[in-house]
Amino acid sequence: MAEKLLSVRGLRVEFKVRQPGAWPWVPPRTLKAVGGVSFELAAGETLGIVGESGCGKSTLARGILGLVPAAAGEIVWMGKQLAGASASTWHAVRRDMQMIFQDPLASLDPRMTVARIIGEPLKVHRPELSDAEVLARVRAMMVKVGLREDMINRYPHEFSGGQCQRIGIARALILEPRLIICDEPVSALDVSIQAQIVNLLKSLQREMGLALIFIAHDLAVVKHISDRVLVMYLGREMELAGKDTLYRTPSHPYTRALLSAIPIPDPRLERGKQVAILQGDLPSPISPPSGCVFRTRCPQAEARCADEQPAWRQLASGAHCACHYAA
């Protein structure tokens, strides 16, 4: 059985928001960005996280890494509690937990060369290495991610979007971490380049034994790379299941709506399929609906959904789901 690396239990991330034009003595309101998410991740496993924009996927990733403070819950990394830990404790685990960001170019310092960008984590976490050793590791990592060594003194603006993302991947891998969180790493790239980056991540995962958390909007990409998939809506977890179970027999109405929107390559089948169009707008996380947060857009909602928040429970299929009527 694979070693359990990460355990997230009831993680909540909240922000205080002051409305524009409000009087100074009016207290700020609470924006509940992540509302009690729980999951576990094993060594070498890939967990996909999907959901609409604004559902808390990126905030969850930043909460796991300690880039935003957790309001409640636990983050256990290899048996060590990280929620509320000191800066020195976080610094010690940074080598094992790295992140790849959504915008390839914006995540790179335009004033730094490729050598400095990729080598910076070594300067921070491996100060005992000489400049020559750092440079040798940078060159080796560039080759590993598909970049030529003669590009080492170029600046980010001299690269394409796909090449910039490869630089970001090299920067995340240079410390040989055990977990990489990929925050929509292919959403800003062309379709052909997306496939190259996803295949590169899968190849590096096999070679280095990485665990991945892969955040994306494209459910077809998530299916290709993930072992399990977590579906989020308005900061809450709706469903968590193995990819085969989730894509074949989704249990939550929101999951079924997302899957129905995946394009089918065959034009005849695409024209004939039924798409579950969600009615209404996404509610505000400052004042989420009572009970089930999805009830305002759910075609199956009943009075119970407004009065009672669904329990996070395991179904006969092995999937976990937060719905009163999931079979």
* pLDDT at residue number 149: 93
Q: Is 212 helix (H, G, I), strand (E, B) or coil?
A: strand
State the Cα–Cα distance between residues 70 and 81, nearest whole angstrom: 12
Number of domains in the chain: 1
Considering the domain boundaries, does residue 138 fall inside one? no
* pLDDT at residue number 269: 65
Q: What is the reported pTM?
A: 0.91
Considering the domain boundaries, does residue 81 fall inside one? no
pLDDT truncated to tens, each residue of the chain (327 aa)?
Answer: 578 999 999 999 999 988 887 778 888 899 999 999 999 999 999 999 999 888 999 999 999 999 999 999 999 999 899 988 888 889 889 889 999 998 888 889 999 999 999 999 999 999 999 999 999 999 999 999 999 999 999 999 999 989 999 999 999 999 999 999 999 988 878 888 888 999 999 999 999 999 999 999 888 889 989 999 999 999 999 999 999 999 999 999 999 999 888 777 767 766 767 777 788 888 888 989 999 999 999 988 899 999 999 999 999 989 999 999 886
Domain range for residue 287?
249-327
Considering the domain boundaries, does residue 291 fall inside one? yes
* pLDDT at residue number 190: 82
User: For residue 316, what is the DSSP state?
Assistant: T
Considering the domain boundaries, does residue 288 fall inside one? yes
**SS3 per residue for 74-120:** EEEECCEECCCCCHHHHHHHHHHEEEECCCCCCCCCCCCCHHHHHHH
Give the helix ranges, DSSP H, for the chain: 57-64, 87-93, 114-125, 131-144, 161-173, 191-208, 219-225, 243-248, 253-260, 267-272, 303-307
| Spatial CA neighbour of 42 closest among 245, 228, 241 | 228
Considering the domain boundaries, does residue 277 fall inside one? yes
Considering the domain boundaries, does residue 74 fall inside one? no
* pLDDT at residue number 215: 95
* pLDDT at residue number 121: 94
* pLDDT at residue number 11: 96
DSSP assignment of 27-59:
PPEEEEEEEEEEEEEETT-EEEEE--TTSSHHH
* pLDDT at residue number 5: 93
* pLDDT at residue number 266: 67
Considering the domain boundaries, does residue 265 fall inside one? yes
Considering the domain boundaries, does residue 80 fall inside one? no
* pLDDT at residue number 86: 87
| Spatial CA neighbour of 38 closest among 244, 269, 236, 314 | 236
**304-309, long-range: CB < 8 A, 24+ apart:** none
Contact 47, 41 (CB under 8 A): yes
* pLDDT at residue number 242: 95
